[in-house]
Amino acid sequence: MEGTARPRNSSGAWVMSIDAPDRPEATGDGGRIRVLNAVVATPEARGGAIRAGLRLGDALADLGDEEPSSDPSGSDPTPIAVDNAKMRGEADGELVAELALDHEVHPLPSRTALRDAANRVVDFDGNYANALVWTRAETPRPLAEYDLVHLHNPHPIAGLASLAVAARRAGVPYVVTTHGVGKLPDLPAAMGMSRPTRTAFERGVLGPYWRVLRGAEHLFALSATDRDRIHRRLPGQSVTVVPNGADPIPPDEAAGERVEERLGIDPSDHLLFFAGDLVESKGIDDLLAAHRLLEGGVRLVVAGRDRSGYADRLRSEEGVAYAGYVDRATLLDLYRRADVFVFPTRTDVFPLSVLEAMAAGTPVVASAVGGIPDQLGAPGADGTAGGTGGEEVSAGVLVPPRAPERVAAAVGELLEDPERRDGLGRRARRRVEREYAWPAVAERVADEYRRILWCPDLSASSVDRST
């Protein structure tokens, strides 16, 4: 398709011209639909949304290895060709290696001058100046040559907005995976922001984020909860529920011994594991409070980047080991050795760490927030009822946020019942294999790309295509 501006319909979504009624016009790339998969990130970040965006892009690029169909009837799906890009970061080489990416990731510039200047002028009570990190669309090929741009990660918002604006100026529609829609609105309360900080956050982050989503051709929500929130805020916007995926984590009998030797854990000890950024919104305080309520012989291992000064506190807690940011091999060993993965987050979207624990066959106790009930197979996670705190569901146990006593009770019951733990772990692994394998997730996204390009009126409607 030509890189000329596309008109918009009455709902504000892009309307694309299609020469053929049954296929989008080829871009000249061997009959493939050309997509830019772009991941927004600050130079220091390497969190779940970044990993998911990169991993999805790699799985989509695998689909592009297929040869275009020679069937003149056009009945076979049009193949896609994906270029992957990410705002340049300090740990990009490590990320590519840890995720075992097969396809090149093109670096986009990370412009930090505005953030650095703001930090010199204002004493922020958090890393909020990171929102000012932006980028230029220095893409592998001219932006106008793409048929579609797929954006990931809301932070930094200046980076997301700059790519959305660049796509619009090039006349290329963009879609967004809404990694932050179930979390960003709740962050002020979850992180205890002061009134001035809350006001700045709502005007400088939330407002631009909703504007980017409103201007998108289509949104990919990670859960039914996110979809419903989008529909309430942006009625009429086109939304499909497509979750993050997870790679299988096969058993390894030597994993436990490696973890025990590295962290000085007795083989007879029960092991609880948490993986994620160490910030207040992840429920670290609730995790520690819950651990204190458990009887002896229960060790807690915490892995992740310390972003809020928790490291010294963790090291001083009896029965707690802080592993820091660990490499992929060590992370997988910790999932395998853990008796229970505990994730008492106060607000979240669709955390990869929960999916990874499930993929390892480790039973999960997690907060009933965001898309976690969907991940664990809660009754009503399709948006009709929702999971209730303290409820055992298909692949784990849901507890209320900010309730360490409920976390401790749920964990304690599991530790006393190995047969129940094993059953939850088996169901969790099967659920990941059935629902969250990356190739299947990529196929669903690619089908939506084709639908957007073939049927702009349908993609711009409020019809729910979540099934």
Residues in CB range of 389: below 8 A, 6 or more apart: 367, 368, 398, 399, 400, 403, 406
Burial (CB count <10 Å: 0-12, 13-18, 19+), residue 355:
buried
For the whole model, what pTM was predicted? Answer: 0.84
For 208, phi and psi rounded to 5 degrees? Answer: -60, -35
pLDDT at 77: 80
**Cα gap 340→325, rounded to integer Å:** 20
The pLDDT of 131-158, averaged and rounded, is 96
CA 216 to chain centre: 18
Per-residue pLDDT at 319:
96
- On the question of pLDDT at 74 being above 80, the answer is no
User: Band of the pLDDT at 31, cuts 50, 70, 90?
Assistant: confident
The one-letter code for the residue type at 400 is: P
* pLDDT computed for residue 66 by the predictor: 64
- pLDDT higher than 80, residue 331: yes
pLDDT band at 346 (very low <50, low <70, confident <90, very high): very high
Domains and CATH numbers, the chain: 33-245+437-459 (3.40.50.2000), 255-435 (3.40.50.2000)
Contact in structure between 13 and 58 (CB atoms under 8 Å):
no
For the cut 70, the answer to whether the pLDDT of residue 457 exceeds it is: no
Position 233 pLDDT exceeds 60:
yes
Question: What would the mean pLDDT of 80-107 be, rounded to a whole number?
Answer: 95
461 token code pair: 């409607």
Helix axes 352-359, 328-337, angle to 10 degrees: 60
Chain-wide mean pLDDT for the chain?
87
CB 53 within 8 A of CB 60: no
User: Is the pLDDT confidence value at 13 over 70?
Assistant: no
The answer to which of 40-54, 108-122, 360-374 has the lowest mean pLDDT is: 108-122
Over 60: is that where the pLDDT of 1 sits?
no
Cis (ω within 30 of 0) for the bond into 156? yes
Q: What is the mean pLDDT of residues 428-433?
A: 96
Please report the pLDDT score of residue 182 as a whole number: 74
Q: What is the pLDDT of residues 388-426, one digit of tens each?
A: 336 788 899 999 999 999 999 999 999 999 999 999 999
Alpha carbons within 13 angstroms on the beta-carbon side of residue 455 total 9
Nearest Cα to Cα of residue 101 among 164, 53, 66: 53
| pLDDT at 126 (0 to 100) | 58
Model pLDDT, residue 26: 45
pLDDT at 185: 84
Taking residues 369-383, what's their average pLDDT?
Answer: 79
Which residues neighbour 20 within 8 Å (Cβ) at sequence distance 6 or greater? Answer: 74
Q: What is the pLDDT of residues 308-319, one digit of tens each?
A: 899 999 999 999
Per-residue model confidence (pLDDT) at position 128: 74
Task: Give the pLDDT of residue 383.
Answer: 36
Residue 190 has pLDDT above 90, yes or no: no
Burial class (CB in 10 A: 0-12, 13-18, 19+), 235: exposed
Looking at residues 323-351, what average pLDDT do you find? 95
What pLDDT does 14 receive? Answer: 39
- pLDDT average, residue stretch 26-50: 85
Cβ–Cβ under 8 Å, residues 166 and 213 = no
Percent of the chain at pLDDT > 70 equals: 85
Per-residue pLDDT reduced to its tens digit, 246-273: 999 999 999 999 999 999 999 999 999 9
Question: What dihedral do alpha carbons 87, 88, 93, 95 form, nearest 10°?
Answer: -30
